[in-house]
């Protein structure tokens, strides 16, 4: 309801919709086409964006023209091209609006080819809080491109009405190379299928999770198997696997969702919306993953603590998969955000699990050394490159693809994680390690004897 009013506020601006393409919009479309990096993969960020030039909104401010063009709309995600024309020069960025959260609106700014520039959200007092700012050398989330200057004029942000307690969604800033592109405007185009919240469920209606013990993988496998047998989690897992593997527009793409757990009682309170992945331009994929905590009555808090996504091919977990869930653990309080307390962070870690479903195995990861986990996070992009080189080397020496990735992962992070593996779709997780065959000195993956 509040978002519907938000759109109404935006529509109060003086927007003119040309009945047919004007020369200015034709020029914009020609400029846009020249900026797009040619990519054959139909799932690349820029390929998925299809500008609706005929519905472009045009605003004239002094001697500057501002344009808003819908480029993508699906369920609770919309993307708009926000561009300007001044003194013969076009500039523009893509704003991605995520309506999947019940009480907040997340906004990401990306280049036309999909590199993340910044990310933030609106709070109840119409304040925009920047939560991430990417620099030139940061990890490319979608597509590949170098950021080349050019920013839009600062826009007035229409206030989201009503009083609510927004969930905290936090991503740590990482070595920003310049200022953000300015406060984003509210969305012009509503999502195509409503504005419901991020997954249903009430407290306790989805079962209860038990804590892990970082020093007892044999006990942890029982909890992982119990979670996997949970009827609600089983249904969500089947949903994302079917979207990934069955015929349909999203076949072959990663899908994911996260489960909220109440840190006070272990209740699995609700699930985030299912997200679809994007091609990264290097043959890989990334799927958005929302890491959030939400303050409940009586000083209780629910946190996304059980992270799940698919791989549409034979593989093991990637190096990047290890760091799902690190943001709630790393966050510190600011004037506009209350982070988890140290005690709550330890409780959070005891519930945390990263789950990866592939065509050869289902995997789970728990953290055994949080200090090393945090210390390695800044090296995530470099470690991902090391991981790729390591598993290719294992493949070239005769290991199958998923075993090569398992070995590479344990070589990199075996001192701070515990890896678990089960048959596809079955609740038979076993903790695994690598051993060395004394006869030929080759490594192999072995279950821990429980």
Dihedral class, residue 273 (left if φ above 0, else alpha if ψ from -120 to 50, else beta) = beta
pTM for this entry: 0.61
Backbone angles phi, psi at 3, to 5 degrees: -70, -30
Task: Quote the tokens at residue 317.
Answer: 């977990």
Residue 79 lies in a domain: yes
| CA nearest to 134, candidates 178, 184, 92, 176 | 176
Residues 6+ apart with CB under 8 A from 335: none
**Do 43 and 164 share a structural domain?**
yes
Cα 295 to Cα 389: distance, rounded to the nearest angstrom? 42
Predicted local distance difference test score (pLDDT) of residue 402? 94
Same domain as 142, residue 8:
yes
CA distance 19 to 55: 8
Q: Are residues 254 and 134 in the same domain?
A: no
Identify the weakest region by mean pLDDT among 1-10, 208-217, 254-263.
1-10
Phi, psi dihedrals of residue 74, rounded to the nearest 5°: -155, 125
Residue 184 inside a domain? The answer is no
Kindly state the average pLDDT of the residues 338-367: 95
Do the domain assignments include residue 182? no
* Run of H or E including 66: strand 64-74
The structure tokens 């048959």 sit at 423
Q: Are 309 and 356 in contact (CB under 8 A)?
A: yes
d(CA 279, CA 299): 40
Residue in 376, 402, 278 with CA at minimum distance from that of residue 322: 376
> Which of the given ranges, 299-303, 322-326, 427-431, has the highest pLDDT on average?
427-431
Where a domain ends, among 169, 184, 207? 169
Question: Residue 340 sits in which domain range?
Answer: 217-447
Residue 194 lies in a domain: no
pLDDT digits (tens, 9 = 90+) for 193-245: 332 223 333 334 689 999 999 999 999 999 999 999 999 999 999 999 999 99
**Window from 48-57, 154-163, 174-183, 311-320 with minimum mean pLDDT:** 154-163
The pLDDT value recorded for residue 113 is 83
pLDDT of 9 > 50? The answer is no
Torsion sign across C-alpha atoms 183, 185, 186, 192:
negative
Domain shared by 278 and 147, yes or no? no
Cα separation, 248 vs 242, whole angstroms: 9
Count of domains observed in the chain? 2
- How crowded is the C-beta side of 168, counted as CA atoms within 13 Å? 23
Say if residues 373 and 366 touch (Cβ distance below 8 Å).
Answer: no
Residue 407 near residue 416, CB atoms below 8 Å = no
User: Does a structural domain hold residue 191?
Assistant: no
What is the spatial distance between Cα 325 and Cα 310, in angstroms, rounded to a whole number? 16
Q: Where do the DSSP E strands lie in 227-319?
A: 255-262, 268-271, 275-276, 278-279, 285-286, 292-296, 300-310
Q: What are phi and psi of 446, to 5 degrees?
A: -135, 145
Please say which residue of 109, 137, 169 terminates a domain: 169
Query: Which tokens belong to 278?
Result: 């994007």
Where among 153, 169, 185 does a domain terminate? 169
> Cβ-count burial of 172 within 10 angstroms (0-12 exposed, 13-18 middle, 19+ buried)?
middle
Percent of the residues in the chain that have a pLDDT greater than 70, as a whole number: 75
- Shared-domain flag, residues 147 and 227: no
Query: Which position has the higher pLDDT, 14 or 203?
Result: 203
- Whether the per-residue pLDDT at 190 is higher than 80: the answer is no
| Percentage of the chain lying above the pLDDT 90 cut | 42
Confidence of residue 131 (pLDDT cuts 50, 70, 90): low
Residues 12 and 91 in one domain: yes
Q: Residue 34 domain-assigned? A: yes
Report long-range pairs for 74-79 (Cβ below 8 Å, ≥24 apart): 74/191, 74/192, 75/191, 75/192, 75/193, 75/273, 76/100, 76/191, 76/193, 76/194, 76/195, 76/196, 76/273, 77/191, 78/187, 78/189, 78/190, 78/191, 78/192, 79/49
Residue 60 lies in a domain: yes
Nearest to 99 by CA among 202, 240, 239, 193: 193
Domain shared by 73 and 221, yes or no: no
Among 362, 344, 244, CA closest to 303:
344
Q: What is the pLDDT of residue 223?
A: 97
Q: 108 pLDDT exceeds 60?
A: yes
CA angle, residues 411, 414, 419, in degrees to nearest 5? 115
Q: What is the C-alpha separation between 418 and 400, in angstroms, rounded?
A: 21
Residue whose structure tokens are 């070995």: 407
pLDDT the model gives residue 128: 66
C-alpha to C-alpha distance for 204 and 209, rounded to whole angstroms: 10
Tell me: do 163 and 231 sit in the same domain: no
Same domain, 227 and 165: no
Report yes or no on 259 lying in a domain. yes
Do 221 and 144 lie in a common domain? no
User: Given pLDDT bands bounded at 50, 70 and 90, which one contains residue 321?
Assistant: very high
Please state the rounded mean pLDDT for residues 131-146.
40
**Residue 35 burial (10 A CB sphere; 0-12, 13-18, 19+):** middle
- Which of 47-56, 77-86, 150-159, 365-374 is most confident? 365-374
d(CA 138, CA 269): 34
Is the domain of 222 the same as that of 321?
yes
For the cut 90, the answer to whether the pLDDT of residue 310 exceeds it is yes
The pLDDT of residue 58 is 85
pLDDT at position 176, please? 33
Same domain, 151 and 231: no
């Amino acid at each position: 309801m509040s978002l519907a009013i938000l759109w109404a506020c935006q529509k109060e601006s003086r927007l003119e919709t040309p009945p047919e393409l004007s020369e200015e919009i034709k020029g914009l479309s020609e400029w846009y086409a020249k900026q797009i990096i040619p990519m054959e993969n139909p799932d690349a960020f820029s390929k998925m964006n299809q500008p609706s030039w005929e519905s472009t909104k045009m605003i004239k401010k002094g001697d500057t023209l501002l344009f808003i063009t819908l480029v993508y709309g699906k369920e609770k995600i919309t993307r708009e091209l926000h561009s300007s024309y001044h003194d013969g020069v076009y500039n523009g960025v893509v704003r991605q609006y995520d309506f999947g959260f019940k009480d907040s609106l997340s906004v990401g700014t990306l280049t036309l080819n999909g590199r993340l520039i910044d990310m933030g959200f609106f709070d109840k007092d119409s304040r925009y809080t920047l939560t991430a700012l990417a620099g030139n050398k940061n990890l490319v989330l979608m597509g590949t491109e170098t950021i080349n200057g050019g920013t839009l004029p600062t826009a007035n942000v229409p206030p989201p009405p009503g009083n609510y307690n927004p969930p905290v969604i936090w991503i740590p800033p990482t070595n920003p190379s310049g200022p953000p592109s300015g406060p984003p405007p509210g969305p012009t185009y509503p999502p195509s299928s409503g504005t419901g919240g991020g997954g249903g469920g009430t407290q306790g209606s989805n079962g209860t999770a038990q804590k892990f013990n970082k020093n007892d993988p044999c006990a942890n496998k029982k909890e992982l198997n119990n979670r996997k047998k949970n009827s609600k989690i089983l249904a969500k897992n089947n949903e994302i696997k079917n979207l990934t593997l069955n015929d349909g527009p999203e076949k072959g793409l990663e899908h994911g969702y996260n489960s909220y757990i109440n840190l006070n009682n272990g209740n699995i309170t609700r699930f985030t919306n299912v997200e679809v992945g994007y091609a990264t331009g290097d043959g890989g994929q990334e799927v958005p993953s929302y890491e959030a905590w939400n303050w409940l009555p009586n000083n209780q808090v629910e946190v996304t603590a059980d992270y799940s996504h698919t791989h549409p091919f034979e593989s093991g977990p990637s190096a990047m998969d290890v760091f799902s869930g690190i943001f709630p653990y790393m966050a510190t309080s600011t004037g506009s955000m209350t982070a988890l307390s140290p005690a709550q962070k330890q409780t959070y870690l005891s519930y945390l699990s990263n789950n990866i479903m592939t065509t050869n195995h289902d995997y789970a990861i728990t953290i055994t050394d949080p200090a090393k986990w945090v210390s390695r996070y800044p090296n995530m992009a470099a470690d991902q490159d090391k991981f790729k080189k390591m598993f290719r080397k294992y493949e070239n020496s005769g290991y199958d693809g998923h075993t090569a990735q398992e070995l590479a992962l344990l070589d990199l992070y075996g001192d701070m994680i515990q890896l678990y593996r089960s048959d596809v779709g079955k609740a038979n997780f076993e903790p695994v390690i690598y051993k060395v065959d004394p006869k030929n000195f080759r490594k192999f993956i072995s279950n821990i004897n429980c």
